[in-house]
Structure 1
Amino acid sequence: MSVLHVARIHVTNLRKIYFFETLSDEQLELLGSFSTKKHFDKGAILFYEKEQPTSLTLLTEGTLKVYKTDPKNNEIIMHRFRPVSLIAEMAVLEGMPYPASAAFETDGTVIEIDFERFKKEFLHDPDVALLLFKSLSKKIKYLEDVIALNVVLDSTARLAKFLCDNKEALTELKHYQLAEHLHMTPETLSRTFKKLVVLELLEKESNGYRIKSREGLRVLFE
């Protein structure tokens, strides 16, 4: 873990985060008293699989990949998180070890909140509880997508579904990152892109690809 800087958090910084927008200034002062902001280098590990969590972690800057490692030491990427996102809150709520590892793909920042204090002071608040519930619901959807991408769909349907569900993927992810996420080799991904171009669902451009028919892509996986 490569932490560049650790600091306490000012109320005005917490107020900007939508998770806390319903809290009063007094509540924010209390929250800030047991919260810490940490800055990380690109490539830094936030946590490893099987570590025991003690803090509720909120990603506020950067891109964080959550992944598992298979017996051959290959990474299986579960999801890439972008701000603002709660990370592995189920493990914290259940008091169980992290089910996967997390590493920064860019420089990044998180807010770590002492969970025992948070539970005592805020978990009874209906607005806070609802935000946690919504975040957990998103994680269930992410897991469903991972299962679909790895078990149910072939490579063509996998790429088509991912492009439909992630409009920014063609501009934000490098070729090797997209291949990792879809659990393909870069060569297989290239062939799959070419197939979608031949089907006139994508168009090749100088800086990548453009979606021509989103409905056509949907036909491949629905």
Structure 2
Amino acid sequence: MQKVKDILKNISLFSHFEEDKLEVLTEISTISNYKKDSILYYETESTDKLLFLIEGQIKVYKIDKYDNEIFLYYIYSNSMISELSNLNESEIRCFSNAEFVKDSSILSIDFTKFKELFLYKDALCLKFIQELIYKNHQLQCIVNRELVFDATSKVAFMLINDLEMFNELKRAEVSLLLHIQPETLSRVLKKLARNSSILIEKGKIRILNYEELKSIYLGI
């Protein structure tokens, strides 16, 4: 147990913790080892652990609709791995793929217990963290929209997440936001209507099948 506590002290997020807090955090933490070239997780998977890289190196990347790898960044020792997008859920959804480029060690912390024991203690701190996570989520959306999604995925994503805005804007304005041609937007909407995913009434969109639209951009 002492080894876990020493590791926690080397992570900047916990380096200021007093001994009693470190003891509590140690109780909900575990260490795992991974070999080079193994996969920690794939995008769209979920985990109930808050993850930190203790030793080694991780490559973070996404795969576009044409199976091309899009490199995002490397994670180095004593850094957080998890990409938080919502504190209100019990699991953390993986935004990208994570692959070990060196033999590595991971610190895993029970996410639900961590929130209960530490994050929920201070309302102002919690609110501030939620705002930061929201900003991070917006950045994730931009990465998907500009680097990963094809035209159909872009449209489906906006319909699910910004339907009200989609219906308020002119089609040319939507095309500009999504960086696609107006003709392409029209073609995608007609295809989604034929598939009974949406209904177009007097120029407005009504979603008929939320799960079908989500599956388009989640790749499932």
Q: For this structure pair, what is the TM-score category when the shorter chain's length is used for normalisation?
A: 0.5 to 0.7
Tell me if 1:12 matches 2:10.
Answer: no
Paired position in structure 2 for 1:35? 29
Tell me if 1:54 matches 2:41.
Answer: no
Higher gyration radius (CA): 2
Name which of 54, 61, 64 aligns with 2:58.
Answer: 64
CA, structure 1 residues 24+125, in 2 after alignment: closer, same or farther (shift >3 Å)? farther
Paired position in structure 2 for 1:111? 107
Corresponding residue pairs, total: 145
Structure 2 unmatched ranges of 5 or more:
149-220
Paired position in structure 2 for 1:78? 72
Q: What are the Cα deviations for residues 98-130 of structure 1, in whole angstroms up to 9, with x where unaligned?
A: 121111111111111000000000114569869
* CA positional deviation for 1:88: 2.7
| CA distance in 1 between partners of 2:132 and 2:76 (Å) | 13
Give the TM-score taking structure 1 as reference length. 0.52
| CA distance in 2 between partners of 1:128 and 1:58 (Å) | 21
CA, structure 1 residues 35+22, in 2 after alignment: closer, same or farther (shift >3 Å)? same
* CA positional deviation for 1:18: 1.8
CA, structure 1 residues 143+96, in 2 after alignment: closer, same or farther (shift >3 Å)? closer
| CA distance in 2 between partners of 1:136 and 1:31 (Å) | 22
CA, structure 1 residues 146+106, in 2 after alignment: closer, same or farther (shift >3 Å)? farther
Structure 1 unmatched ranges of 5 or more:
1-6, 152-222
| CA distance in 2 between partners of 1:124 and 1:62 (Å) | 31
Give % identity.
31
* CA positional deviation for 1:140: 7.5
* CA positional deviation for 1:24: 1.5
Matches within 5 A, 1:93-172: 93=87, 95=91, 97-124=93-120
* CA positional deviation for 1:8: 8.6
Give the TM-score taking structure 2 as reference length. 0.53
Paired position in structure 2 for 1:21? 15
| CA distance in 1 between partners of 2:26 and 2:86 (Å) | 19
| CA distance in 2 between partners of 1:138 and 1:105 (Å) | 29
| CA distance in 1 between partners of 2:132 and 2:106 (Å) | 16
CA-based RMSD of the aligned residues comes to 3.6
Q: Is the Cα contact below 8 Å between 1:41 and 1:106 reproduced in 2?
A: yes
Aligned partner of 1:120: which letter?
E
* CA positional deviation for 1:139: 5.7
Matches within 5 A, 1:165-180: none
* CA positional deviation for 1:44: 1.1
* CA positional deviation for 1:37: 1.0
Q: Is the Cα contact below 8 Å between 1:64 and 1:82 reproduced in 2?
A: yes
Q: Is the Cα contact below 8 Å between 2:55 and 2:78 reproduced in 1?
A: yes
| CA distance in 2 between partners of 1:26 and 1:68 (Å) | 40
CA, structure 1 residues 143+18, in 2 after alignment: closer, same or farther (shift >3 Å)? same
